Amino acid sequence: MILTIDIGTTTIKAALMDPKGTIHKSCIHRLISTITEEIATSNPQQYIACLTKILTQFDTKAIEAIIVSGNAPTFIPVTGEPTVHNGNLTLDSEDARLWLDKRGNEFSPRVSQLMGSYIDGSFYLPKALSIKEKEPALFERVTSFLTNTEYLTYLLTGNKVTILPAEHLSKYYWNDAILASLSLPSSLFPPFVTPGTVIGKVSEQARKVLGLPPNVKVIAGGPDFYLSILGSGVHRPGEICDRSGTSEGINLCIRQQINEKGLMCYEHPANNALWNLSGIISTTGAAIDWGMKLLGLEKDEYNKFLSMAARVHQTNLIFHPYLNGERAPIWDNDATATFSGLKLSTSRDEIARSILEGICFSILDVTQAMGDQRQSATKMFITDNHSSFNFLSQMKSNVLQIEVADLKDNPVELTGLAMLASTSLGYYKNLTEASEHCHTQSEILSPDPTKKDYYLHKFSQFKEIYKATKSTGIKL
């Protein structure tokens, strides 16, 4: 059996899975994050506490391997090494700096110039420079910089690595020449490994504390967007993986590498003859959470929020979900959320609907940036574990005018992890074969052609309002 773990912004999901991707037991634990206008952090000790809880819920004797994924680019200044304190595993560090953290923004131009392409302040080197130049006392104590995924694998094995999901994403990481130019010690940045690499076996101290059997392997997972593409089964040209959570990643499978402004292009996880064209939207699920709070709803009333939106057939209200700036395709750190068209008669239901429409327009903005590649899109696979109510998925289909496969009941990151680990352990020859055996069930939704003109008109307004109200920001 394979223990799969995915670290998100607000939850950690885990499942005990077999090589066919069948879940034998699963659980979800909440995480607490601190998010302000500039700072977004999470305490990594939560990850350790959740790992311990997970292992008390599962049959540890059956575990053959452990594999972890996490939201990226999360960045942890590690200040110690794995040890046991009062009978518990611990690994000293400062708080993890989440992908929403903006303290690296002022260092983005400097890194971008050296890299020869735009590197957003949320990525690794701008964050490292921020610590070096703004927090020198902390920088002196840092022994390594790790992602949340790598933090747990270091805790389990005592081996430090950096998981590079694809060669063409290396420009968002670092190399020795860049580190030297920035006067950043290379010793703080562990060597690269690829997803599926066996990092090592669970150390003796970790095994005893966690109650694991001997010889459990720890396998390199990687960032959640990479595992979502694998787990969704999107491995044919024209298929889109829509990984929705606090943020949202739009990933289109294409036949050849292209360079589109504002997007990332890298090797497809399951087939090295194909490519993935990707755009990341900053605050989609976060916009829904914000809207629910605004409307006086509780965190568990997601379906009620969607029901409110469904009661309105159309609204003149337009919402931009730029609650923490925006990444793809505009890459504007200073972008702000707006409501346009508010009136005394505007209802709570209209506000709910406009928030969902704004999310869909942001997705359409990304797919339109994909240019000619967008014309070849055949189906979008939507991963959304929040709800059994498919109103938002149908709206996405109507706005994009594309058929969607709703995978909301499938934990695609965990399925992707199981595929990756099973291939590494020799159950499959390659990830393409693994994807053929690890099936996911979906509900197919077709677009309503009568909605096309309504949404295209509102989308043009969405674009024009942003142009009219935007402040000066960094652009690609």
Kindly report the CATH number assigned to the domain that includes residue 58: 3.30.420.40
pLDDT per residue as tens digits for the range 302-337: 999 999 999 999 999 999 999 999 999 999 988 999
Give the total residue count for the chain.
476
* Cα 311 to Cα 303: distance, rounded to the nearest angstrom: 12
Q: What is the largest CA-CA distance in the chain?
A: 66
Instruction: Give a yes or no: residue 341 inside a domain.
Output: no
What are the backbone dihedrals phi and psi of residue 13, each rounded to the nearest 5 degrees, phi first? -105, 145
Q: Which residue has the higher pLDDT, 10 or 420?
A: 420
Instruction: Give a yes or no: residue 313 inside a domain.
Output: no
The domain tally of the chain equals: 1
List the structure tokens of 35. 């998010």
Residue 476 confidence class, pLDDT cut points 50, 70, 90: very low
Q: Which domain holds residue 150?
A: 2-224
End-to-end CA distance of the chain: 44
Residue 387 confidence class, pLDDT cut points 50, 70, 90: low
Q: Has residue 474 got a pLDDT over 90?
A: no
What is the pLDDT, as a whole number, of residue 385?
54
Instruction: Give a yes or no: residue 187 inside a domain.
Output: yes
Residue in this structure with the two tokens 């000293």, named with its chain if needed: 92
pLDDT per residue as tens digits for the range 19-46: 988 999 999 999 999 988 899 999 999 9
Instruction: Give a yes or no: residue 94 inside a domain.
Output: yes
What is the pLDDT, as a whole number, of residue 472?
43
* Cα 420 to Cα 423: distance, rounded to the nearest angstrom: 5
Q: Residue type at 334? A: D
68, containing H or E segment: strand 65-70
What is the pLDDT, as a whole number, of residue 380?
94
* Cα 8 to Cα 5: distance, rounded to the nearest angstrom: 10
Instruction: Give a yes or no: residue 181 inside a domain.
Output: yes
Q: Has residue 78 got a pLDDT over 60?
A: yes
pLDDT per residue as tens digits for the range 301-310: 999 999 999 9
Residue in this structure with the two tokens 């909605």, named with its chain if needed: 451
Instruction: Give a yes or no: residue 248 inside a domain.
Output: no
Q: Has residue 118 got a pLDDT over 50?
A: yes
Q: Has residue 386 got a pLDDT over 80?
A: no
Q: Which residue has the higher pLDDT, 428 or 389?
A: 428
Q: Has residue 456 got a pLDDT over 90?
A: yes
Q: Residue 73: is the preceding peptide bond cis (ω within 30°)?
A: yes
> Can you tell me the mean pLDDT for 102-124?
93
Instruction: Give a yes or no: residue 415 inside a domain.
Output: no
> Can you tell me the mean pLDDT for 372-397?
81
Residue 373 confidence class, pLDDT cut points 50, 70, 90: confident
Q: Which residue has the higher pLDDT, 389 or 213?
A: 213
